[in-house]
Amino acid sequence: MNDTLYDAVIIGSGPNGLAAAVELARNQQKVLVLEASDQIGGGTRTAELTLPGFQHDYCSAVHPLGVLSPFFSSLPLEDYGLEWIYPEASVAHPVDDGPAVLFYRDLARTMDNLGSDGKAWEKLVRPFLRDPDSLLRDILGPLGLPESPLQLARFGMKAIWPAEQLARYLFREERTRGFFAGLAAHSVLPLDKVFTSAIGLVFAVSGHVVEWPVAAGGSARISRALADYLIDLGGDIRTGSWVRELEDLPEARVYLFDTDPMQLAEIAGPVLPPAYVRRLQKYNYGPGSFKLDWALDGPIPWKDKRCLEASTVHLGGTLAEIATSERDAWLGRHSEQPFVLLCQQSQIDPLRAPQGQHTGYAYCHVPFGSTVDMTEAIERQVERFAPGFRDLILDRHTINTRELASYNPNYFGGSISGGSNDITQLFTRPVARFDPYTTPNPRIFICSASTPPGGGVHGMCGYHAAQSALKRLARSST
C-alpha cells in the first residue's frame, strides 16, 4: 500500500460500493475502492459461462430499478458506454391452459391481457402512476420524512398485506393471481408474510413507468460505466485487494463496507462494540438461490409465442404453486415445482449470443446454504411451458448457493438480495439504528444491500451511505 491519505476507502465494488464512491468523489473527496476479485462489479458481471460467444450475466440481469434509480439517473452513465435496451413487455407469465399474461408499460394493454381483472388491476396501480418518481424516491430511501406522505401512506396500506391474501382479495382469475404472486415472489419470502405485497407493488408500478430493460452487452456494462466515471472524477480502484482485517486497509478518514454484515463483523469487529458485532452475526439472510445458464440453439419455444416479447418470464402458473415454492425454500425444503425466474436477454440484445442462437438464464429459491442440484426441476418447469426446450440446449452452467458465495462473499448462504426482507429487517437492516448506514464507530459505515432499501441494482444503498459519510467528513474537518 502507498502512503496516500484518502478521505474514504470503500471495501467492495458492487453497484452500491461504486455508487458510494461516485457520490463521495462528486463531492470532492479522495476515494479508493478495494475489490477482492480481479474484476469489479459484484453481482453485475458478465462472462462466457457456457460456450464462446455466449455472454451470460452472472447474477443480476434485468434492471427496472437501475433505469429508475434516482441516483443512477442523475449520472452521465450513457457517456461512459451504458445503453439500456427495452423489451416490448416487461414480464410474461405463462399458464397451463390459456394465454399468458403479458405485462406492458401501457396500462390499457395490460388491462386487456387481464380480462375480467383488468379494472381491478387499474384500481390497484393507477393511483401510484400520477407521480411515480416521488413514490420511488420515498421507497428507495431510508425511513424519514417522505416526499409525498399521502401517496406513501396509500402505498403502505396495500404493501402491508401478505401477497397471497391481497391477490385473492383483489382478483378473481387464477392467472391474474398467479401473475401478482410472481411479482411478489421477488421478495424471497413466503407469500403469507406481511409486507410481501410491497415488492409486488413496486414492480407493478415500475412496469407501467418503463419496460424492464437489460444493459447492452451485459450487466457488466453498468459496473464499467460507474467505474470509468469514478476514475474521471479522480477516484482510484484496486482489484485483487482482499481485505481480511483492518491492517489490510490504507489510512483513510472513513471506511464504507459494501459487504454483508458477517464480513463487516469479521473485518471491523476489533473496533466495534461486542454487542453490535453480536447483532450483526444474528442477521437473517433468508433463502438462497440456484442458478442455471444455457447456450441455446434458438429462441425458447414458448407455447404462447408472445412470451418472447418479455425480458423476464415467471414460471409457476398459479398463486398456490408459487406460494408453496416460496414457503418451501423458507422452511428448508426443495420444491418439486419451484417458482422459476427466467430472463431471455438475447431476445432483445444481439450482443449476447452468436447469430441465430440465444442465451437463457434462470434461477429458483432454495434453502440457505443448499448444495442440491435443481437443474432437472428448473428445466422441467421451462419444458412445461415451452415444449421442446431441452432439444435446444447446447451447453449449461450451474451454480449453487455455496458457489454463489465463493463467487461473491456478499451472497452468504446463496442469499442474493442482501438478506431477508421480512418485517424484522425490512426497515432495520442490518441492525436497528437511527442512521442504518452508520456503526458505533464513527469512521465505519456499511453501504451494501444489507442496508435500506435492500437488494437490486439501483445504487441507492451506496448513495445514502455516502451522504451519511459526507456528514461525518464535514464534521471532522471543522
- Reduce the DSSP state of residue 102 to 3 states and report it: strand
Q: How far apart are CA 120 and CA 460, in angstroms?
A: 32
Report strand pairing: 236-238 vs 340-343: unpaired
Per-residue confidence (pLDDT) for residue 269, from 0 to 100: 96
Q: How far apart are CA 337 and CA 83, in angstroms?
A: 36
**Which CATH number applies to 84-213+286-407?**
3.90.660
Q: How far apart are CA 77 and CA 117, in angstroms?
A: 39
CATH architecture designation of domain 6-36+241-284+418-476: 3-Layer(bba) Sandwich (3.50)
| Domain parsing of the chain, residue ranges | 6-36+241-284+418-476, 84-213+286-407
Report strand pairing: 252-257 vs 444-446: parallel
Q: Check: pTM over 0.75? Answer yes or no.
A: yes
Q: Which CA distances in Å does 373 have to 294, 336, 362?
A: 15, 12, 13
Per-residue confidence (pLDDT) for residue 71, from 0 to 100: 96
Q: DSSP string spanning 257-303?
A: E-S-HHHHHHHHGGGS-HHHHHHHHT-----EEEEEEEEESSS---S
Task: Return the bridge partners of 257, or none.
Answer: 11, 446
CB 241 within 8 A of CB 34: yes
Per-residue confidence (pLDDT) for residue 478, from 0 to 100: 63
- Mean pLDDT per segment of 10 residues, for the chain of length 478 residues? 78 98 98 96 96 96 96 97 98 96 98 97 96 92 82 94 97 97 97 95 97 98 98 98 94 97 97 97 96 98 98 98 98 97 97 97 98 98 98 98 95 94 84 94 97 94 98 86
Per-residue confidence (pLDDT) for residue 4, from 0 to 100: 65
Q: What share of the chain is helix, strand, coil (3-state, %, to 5)?
A: 40, 15, 45
Q: How far apart are CA 454 and CA 170, in angstroms?
A: 27
Residue type, position 410, single letter: N
